[in-house]
Amino acid sequence: MVAAVLLWLACGVCGVTNAAEFRPPLTTAEGFAVPQPGRRFEFPRDHGAHPEFKLEWWYVTGHLFAADERRFGFQATFFRRAGPGGSAGTNTVDTGPGGNSPWFRSDEVHLAHIAVLDVRTGKFVFQERLNRRGWDADVTTNGLHAWNGNWSLRMTNAASGAMELIGSVRAEAAFRLALTPEKPLVVFGENGVSRKGASPTAASHYLTFTRLKTVGTLRLGAETFAVHGRSWMDHEISSSQLDPGQAGWDWACLQLHDGRDLMAYRMRRKDGGPDPFSTLAWVDVGGRVTQVGAAQFSWQTVGTARHPRSGVSYPNRVKLTASDPAGGPDAVVELQLEPLAPHQELDGGLSGIPYWEGACRVLDAQRREIGAAFLELTGYAGALGGRF
């Protein structure tokens, strides 16, 4: 979700609402744009940045396999956030003896996360980067090219939506991956708007490639592997997503072997109950979306794991129960998410928000493996908000 994914940039979820009754303000109190129903998206331009909005991120997760079927998971997320005054604000940053640089005449900051899991060994490595907008971090506005240092996500073919992703984790891991959509882009929510809570400004435009064929190379230490697999990509555009009464969220994206995909989230309120804007969305083999609200599915914790570094217990074994649109009006499906490694926590050293983001297998009620998933768990390591 978004990824990923942090409260200061908000979460990767969507809601179900009545578009006929939803009339949000045009801007927030800070003057940033609010997602409006009926927006007509224009591509490739809308794959890029939207400086009129405060929050935005591009989130890629995936499962990779080497020739010997050695398995890996990965995450790459590029965030942008504008401060007071907007992304083209008047604030400057003192660059030292040389004075103020025009490259940094902006309150916009860019955070990025890269994580890699080696399933065979259980080793999980990650890294964060935080840079003010400038030559070292930015996102183009006429199409998708996001970078933070030498990490980058770039659309290489606007017609097909093909992308190239480059990332690394210090000297421990590095990858270069080609991503090719196997399904059309989908827009979660209703009438182009994904509601996150009762507040009319708690919303986003939520654009997703749910199934991306992925090929490339992955280096772990001294070993380099030719890899193939499948990825998921979220792009969310917002200015203010969460309500004050929300304590965190649990989010998952699933890619099933039968060709269908599923996104589900449970927004958790501070009183312990689920927020009514929680939702579950099916994406069929042709890319058609079917969404249901909080009352139409169940998210049940069936196991937890305590992280040895932080001591935080994460509910990272999950059972989802929901109606199955492929099986008729009375069909119900049970999907279990089982982590490929128990400890996939990002410690939030720069953002100030630890969270669990990990690769999982999907099991049916008979515990047969029927797909792959990523699971995101936030708000379990203390109050959300971070240092920004």
Query: Would you give the DSSP letter of residue 202?
Result: B
**Letter for the amino acid at 53?**
F
Residue 315's pLDDT is 95
Distances (CA, A) of 281 to 55, 153, 262, 289: 23, 26, 6, 7
pLDDT on residue 106: 66
Residue 384: the pLDDT is 61
Comparing CA positions, the residue from 268, 251, 248 lying closest to residue 381 is: 248
pLDDT of residue 383: 60
- Which of 222, 223, 221 shows the shortest CA–CA distance to 169? 221
pLDDT at 201: 86
- Rounded to 10 degrees, the C-alpha dihedral 157/238/259/265 comes to 160
Ranges in the chain, pLDDT < 50: 2-19, 87-105, 387-388
By CB atoms closer than 10 A (0-12, 13-18, 19+), residue 331 is exposed
154-189 burial string, b = 16+ CB within 10 Å, else e? ebeeeeebbbbbbbbbeeebbbebebbbbbebbbbb
CATH architecture of the domain formed by 2-377: Beta Barrel (2.40)
The one-letter amino acid at 385: G
Strands (E), 133-202: 137-139, 145-148, 151-157, 162-169, 173-181, 186-188, 194-195
- pLDDT, tens digit, 9 for 90 and up, residues 292-305: 988 899 999 999 99
How far apart CA 248 and CA 55 sit, in angstroms, is 17
Per-residue pLDDT at 241: 67
DSSP H helix total and E strand total for the chain: 0, 25
Q: Are 14 and 238 in contact (CB under 8 A)?
A: no
pLDDT score recorded for residue 89 = 37
